[in-house]
Structure 1
């Protein structure tokens, strides 16, 4: 038997559902008129820094493929070589 039916048969009220509350960010705002907190600013810096490093790694990988792997595999020939 389901929990709701059992509680109804026993005359008990429905079980209260836990409130789903989002944690409140209490860090101070970057500016009083700007709806961003210092914590959100730090997260933005972390994400963009990680993205920059990923971009640098992708650029280096692309350069290695174009300069070394492609010509060695015979996919194309370099114009300067």
Structure 2
């Protein structure tokens, strides 16, 4: 308990607040983790859409005769 009081006295108003990644960048560590989660999910969604689009063009395109140039 003594260490917690000493830490609280040393930090003052910043006690209990989440630290920033960099002192000049107002983004906390949990915000950066949320950003990484969302961007990773978005990347996988993009990869999935790319595969679906490629399969559609590759398999259904010739079936409709789009490959023929007359």
Give the TM-score normalised by structure 1: 0.58
Bigger radius of gyration = 1
Helix, strand or coil: the match of 1:44?
A: helix
In the other structure, the counterpart of 1:76 is 66
Structure 1 stretches lacking a partner, 5+ long: 1-25
Give the TM-score normalised by structure 2: 0.67
Instruction: Show structure 1 runs of 4+ deviating over 4 A.
Output: none
Could you say what the CA RMSD is over the residues aligned between the two structures, in angstroms? Answer: 1.8
* Structure with the higher fraction of residues in helix conformation: 2
Aligned length: 53
Counterparts of 1:57 and 1:63, CA distance in 2: 10
Choose the corresponding residue for 2:23, options 32, 36, 42: 32
